[in-house]
Amino acid sequence: MIESMSHGIGVDIAFLLLATLAVVTAWRVFRTDSMVRASFFLLVSFIAVGVIMILLAAEYLGVAMFFMMAVEMTVMALFMVMFMMNPAGLNPMNMVHQERISIGAGVVSFLVLSAMALLAVFPDRPVSAGLDPVRSLGNEMLGDSMLIFESAGLVLLTTMIGVVVLSSHRGRYGAATEGSLPPGLESGGDPAGKPEEDEDGEDGGHHHHHH
Amino acid sequence: MIVEELVLPVLMVFFMLAAGAYTVAVLDRVIAGALGTPQTGSVWIAPLARGAWLMTQHANATEAPDWRAWRLAPALYLSLAAIGLAVVPWSGSLVATDLVTSVVLWGSVEALATVVIFLHGWSANALFALIGGYRYVALGLSYILISMFVLIGVALPAESLQFTQVVASQEELWNVIRQPLGLPLFLIVGLGMTFWGPLNLADSADLAGGTAAEISGPPRLVWDVARAAMLVAFSGVATSAFLGGWLGPWLPGPLWVAIKMLAVLLVLLLLGRLLPRLAPERCVTLMWVILLPLSFIDLVWAGVGALL
Amino acid sequence: MTLATLLLLAAALIGIGIYGALSQQSFVMLMMGLELILNGVMLAAVAFWAFSGAGAPEGQLLTIIVMAVMAIEMTMGFALVVAVFRGKQADTTESLTGLKH
């Protein structure tokens, strides 16, 4: 495979560095205290993979990776600051469940996949030197695979509409949050984050019961 | 080979970063002086003096910032400006990075700028800085969209995503005439992305400096240089995308690029001084309701033009 | 840079992603795990395209489709997070028990 793909030692060194960067930052995503930092670590991992794609001559995909993921991760960081606890990472954070099973599942899937990578025999048919990857991708997207590509666009549009409906304040029958209450701080307790109600007032019917 | 492919482009980009930032500082002072704002000292020396003064200042600290991100963010913004300068072709062969998707690479520079500016605002662990970062994210998404549509418009007649091809396709007619909406939209995006003049909403005075509220000393110098360099990168991209890059009679190509870039810079800085400031929420409305549909029209215009 | 090393890298990314998606309690961190899995998938697709697909354009198209899937996954995820947060002020998977009984 090495002979067929003509590249210099520089590409190999760059690949090794980028691969290390991608894996280390991917690992740091789940090992950092701050969720904002986590989303930017994920972005670095994506960018490293994008550069590897450019090294593989997929020049459009690699660069597309940069801007797609840049916007996605900004939005992610924004949501982190809005909704999540501890976005600044000032306190240690370890919000995990079933960690042993998860580590096991991660290690097993890595081992199985890498065994496949090392043991399976894949055909050796590298990209021919004369191919223009960007042009061939464009011709494919708006040629033979137009239906697939346009369906993806349609699904994206549907998603946009669905998302607006889901996150809208107004539902069909009034406010989207009507009738819902935050859970108590302890199970079965009074709703959290609400102003203290007058306990001995006559409108005891407003007292909410949680199950 | 390594000299030609690595050393020369890197030197070129570094020279452009330094010379470009200095030019922006001088031009802005000249324009301010011409418009009646009194200037102390010589316009040639004052930027250097301010830079030297910032270098010797101690950098302030806030309570528990994310140190690495806080110190990295100005440097990252500067390197994004460097990537932007690297894709600008100076002639058919003199270009630091002649990637076949350099137009998309510039688009991702704009997208990554959003990340860096948010990071800069967030990592200071200060209220106004965070609000500035949030503001930029809300606005930055619309800047990116407008700029992408406008740039797809210039890629259509070139049938390529490469800036050298885009310039070559303007041999007969510059894109500024072929797609009249493109350049004005792109310049507005440029002011927005470097938060310059009226579109300075991320680092604005009403937020006591926004994302840059808490920085001082050398990081402040890097941040200011990076913003100026990004403005230069913008004028370079605008030159290649709309003003025919190196094309022009009599003079050699690189000189034409320099002249056109200077002209675009002059227009940008003048606009920055003359246009009124917008409130952030009105700016979002302007972007999404007026400028984004205009960029659709520009794209349809470009598409019809490419088909005919 | 051979097909095997690229696939090893993809396997590592997928493995870390599976760990993250299964172990994280916070919705958004869970989504990060999913994104990491798709990151590995895209890398593997491009690697196959470059080394054993003879540059068939469908290989690149697959990556574009995965990117679209990522975008859809993220927007839907965030919309659900917003809806759940409005209703229950919850941001962890444990607090969603509505479908359990």
The residue assigned the tokens 């090294």 is A55
User: What are B248's two structure tokens?
Assistant: 């022009």
Q: How confident is the model at residue A34, as a pLDDT?
A: 81
Residue B25 pLDDT exceeds 80: yes
Q: Are B69 and A64 a contacting pair at CB < 8 A?
A: no
Strands A174-175 and A170-171: antiparallel
Query: How sure is the predictor about B67, in pLDDT bands with cuts at 50, 70 and 90?
Result: confident
Interchain CB contact of A145 with C (< 8 Å) = yes
Task: Decide: A and B in contact? Rule: 3+ Cβ pairs under 8 Å.
Answer: yes
Please state the ipTM of this predicted complex. 0.90
Provide the residue count of chain B.
Answer: 308
Q: Does residue A167 sit in helix, strand or coil?
A: helix
Our CA dihedral for B135, B136, B141, B143, rounded to 10 degrees, sits at 120
- Distance from C-alpha of A86 to C-alpha of A89, rounded to nearest angstrom: 5
pLDDT above 80 for A192 = no
pLDDT computed for residue A183 by the predictor: 60
CA distance A8 to chain B (A): 12
**Nearest C-alpha of chain A: how many angstroms from B200?**
20
Mark whether C and B touch (3+ CB pairs within 8 Å): no
Nearest to C94 by CA among A190, A183, A176: A183
Spatial distance between the Cα atoms of B35 and B269, rounded to a whole number of angstroms:
12
pLDDT of B263: 93
Count: domains in chain C: 1
Task: Give the per-residue SS3 of chain B.
Answer: CHHHHHHHHHHHHHHHHHHHHHHHHHHHHHHHHHCCCCCCCCCCCHHHHHHHHHHHCCCCCCCCCCHHHHHHHHHHHHHHHHHHHHCCCCCCCCCCCCCCCHHHHHHHHHHHHHHHHHHHHHHCCCHHHHHHHHHHHHHHHHHHHHHHHHHHHHHHHHCCCCHHHHHHCCCCCCHHHHCCCHHHHHHHHHHHHCCCHHHCCCCCHHHCCHHHCCCCCHHHHHHHHHHHHHHHHHHHHHHHHHCCCCCCCCCCHHHHHHHHHHHHHHHHHHHHHHCCCCCHHHHHHHHHHHHHHHHHHHHHHHHHHHHC
Residues of A whose CB is below 8 A from C26: 35, 84, 95
Please tell me which residue, C54 or B283, carries the higher pLDDT value: B283
pLDDT score for A185? 64
Alpha-carbon gap, residue C5 to A118, rounded angstroms: 9
Residue A37 CB contacts under 8 Å (≥ 6 apart), including other chains: A89, B66, B69
The whole-number pLDDT of residue A5 equals 47
Determine contact: A93 vs chain C, CB below 8 A: no
The reported pTM is: 0.87
Among A167-171, B8-12, B160-164, B217-221, where is mean pLDDT lowest?
A167-171
Higher pLDDT, A166 or A193: A166
For residue A80, pLDDT over 70 is answered with yes
Looking at per-residue pLDDT, the higher value among C87 and B231 belongs to: B231
Return the SS3 of A171: strand
Q: Three-state secondary structure along B179-206? A: CCCHHHHHHHHHHHHCCCHHHCCCCCHH
Specify the 3-state DSSP secondary structure of A195: coil
Q: Greatest CA span in chain B, whole angstroms?
A: 61
Confidence of residue C15 (pLDDT cuts 50, 70, 90): very high
Q: How deeply is B90 buried, as exposed, middle or buried, from its count of CB atoms within 10 A (0-12, 13-18, 19+)?
A: buried
Give A53's contacts in chain C (Cβ within 8 Å). 42-43, 46
Contact assessment for residue B176 and residue B243, using Cβ atoms and an 8 Å cutoff? yes
Flag whether C98 is in a domain.
no
**3-state SS, residue C92:** strand
User: Is residue C100 in a domain?
Assistant: no
Banded model confidence at residue A7, pLDDT cuts 50, 70, 90:
low
Find the domain containing C72 and state its range: 3-89
Confidence band, pLDDT 50/70/90 cuts, at residue A186: low
pLDDT above 50 (res B79): yes
Asked if the structure places residue C14 within a domain, the reply is yes
Lowest average pLDDT, out of A3-7, B76-80, B190-194, goes to A3-7
Measure CA of the first residue to CA of the last residue in chain A; give whole Å.
Answer: 63
User: Is A200's pLDDT higher than 70?
Assistant: no
Residue B55 CB burial class (10 angstroms; 0-12, 13-18, ≥19): exposed
Cα gap B122→B115, rounded to integer Å: 10
Q: Report the pLDDT averaged over residues B26-36.
A: 87
Which residues lie closer than 8 Å to C82 by C-beta, 6 or more apart? A83, A166, A167
Residue of C nearest to A99 (CA): C23
Give the residues across from A191 on adjacent strands: A184
Beta-carbon pairs below 8 A across chains A and C: 265
**Contact criterion met (CB below 8 Å) for B181 and B99:** no
Residue count of chain A: 211
Stretch B21-42: mean pLDDT: 86
CATH of the domain at C23: 1.10.287.3510
* pLDDT band at B150; cut points 50, 70, 90: very high
Percentage, residues of chain A above pLDDT 70: 72
The pLDDT-based confidence of A56 (bands split at 50, 70, 90) is confident
C21: left (phi over 0), alpha (psi -120 to 50) or beta: alpha
* Chain A residues close to B115, C-beta within 8 Å: 40, 43, 70, 73-74, 77
* First CA to last CA distance, chain B: 43
CB distance from A105 to chain C under 8 Å?
yes
